Copies of this chain bind each other. A is one copy, B any other.
Amino acid sequence: MGVVVSLDEGRSDPEASLSDLVALVAGGMDRVNAMILSRTGSDVAMIPEVANHLIASGGKRLRPILTLATADLCAYSGGEGAVKLAASVEFMHTATLLHDDVVDESDMRRGRVAARINWGNQASVLVGDFLLGQAFRMMVEVGSLRALDILSAAATVIAEGEVMQLTAAKNTETSEDEYLAVIRAKTAELFAAACEVGPVLAERPRAEQAACRSYGMNLGIAFQLIDDVLDYGGTSASLGKNVGDDFREGKITLPIVLSFRRGSDEERVFWRRTLEQGDVRDGDLETARAILKRHRALEDTVERARHYGAMARDALALFPNGRMKAALLQVVDFCIARAH
């Protein structure tokens, strides 16, 4: 933790970095949570069961928080609109997670058994579709065609990113640029859209919309890169998923991309066997971590995340200083400090 203090400009407690923002949007988030609960309702009993299994499993709800926060940053005072769009964003995220579990054949999600294990792949696919439908219904209720445009485009881009990842999966030759294109689409696009619809609802100038979008996009990239690092170095308890999931699933993430290029022929044989051929044996995860350490791949991935974090911060420069802006800047620190 000591390292974090010096690198993160004097902040000593990474958890505290999110708490200011959480406190500032607490009232709105109560309404978002009530909206989420009411919109997972259905006469078909399996739908709320499956949806709430995941929704109640304690995600941070960072994306809807960002929608409320950017709306507030832009002095939005339109009432339920931001709440509904925030809930829509969370539903889009939840739908993606449900479909991801099927795509990745995951057994665990957020430290709980994945929905598909309890209810089958079928329910995960279909309840995901239901939530996506409900997300669009809420957006339509808000009635902003521009917000609908942003979020429907995001839905498309996310799916494209997932397919890109599928194509890149198990290919150890993936370049850093290719990997960035994947995470921009599959993760950062929803952060960007979540942040962009705030100023859109508040009818702020395009420059502010673009600034919030850029903040979200770069924060999202940093967030995903740190997730990649946590998958090799975090603790199971703090992340709610087991260390080594990406490794076992043969996912090519930035730490692997960096190590593969910096490594020896022998190491590349190891990566090909484990990640491309899926031949993972006892002790391989430890070997993988040792190789990553030898090449400073985790540290350098954190450095890359810091770069995008800096871009996220700078994007907010055109907004006047205030509590909400300060809290949004702290979120960047929070995302990066998770790695330690």
Contacts and interface: CB of A to CB of B under 8 A. Distances in A.
A127 B44 contact: no
A77 interface: no
Nearest to A152: B136
Contacts of A47: 160, 163
Contact of A121 (B44, B102, B137, B163): B102
A123 B166 contact: yes
Nearest to A131: B159
Nearest to A43: B160
A338 B35 CA distance: 45
Interface string A142-163: 0101001100111111111011
Given A44-B164, A47-B160, A163-B127, A136 B121 contact: no
Contact of A129 (B127, B140, B143, B155): B155
Nearest to A185: B44
Given A44-B163, A134-B156, A122 B143 contact: no
A312 B92 CA distance: 36
Interface in A182-216: none
Which secondary structure dominates chain A's binding surface? helix
A152 B137 contact: yes
Given A136-B136, A140-B152, A143-B145, A130 B159 contact: yes
A136 B123 contact: no
A182 to B, nearest CB: 10
Given A44-B163, A46-B163, A102 B125 contact: yes
Given A121-B102, A122-B103, A166-B46, A149 B156 contact: no
A99 B166 contact: no
A132 interface: yes
Given A125-B125, A129-B159, A132-B132, A145 B137 contact: no
Contact of A160 (B130, B136, B156): B130
B143 A156 contact: no
B159 A149 contact: no
Interface in A111-133: 120-123, 125-127, 129-130, 132-133
Contacts of A141: 149
Contact of A166 (B42, B122, B162): B122
Nearest to A150: B140
Contacts of A121: 102-103, 121
- Chain A to chain B: the 7 pairs with minimum beta-carbon distance, closest first: A133-B156, A133-B155, A130-B159, A136-B152, A129-B159, A103-B122, A140-B148
8 contacts: A102-B102, A120-B166, A127-B159, A127-B163, A130-B160, A133-B158, A136-B152, A137-B152
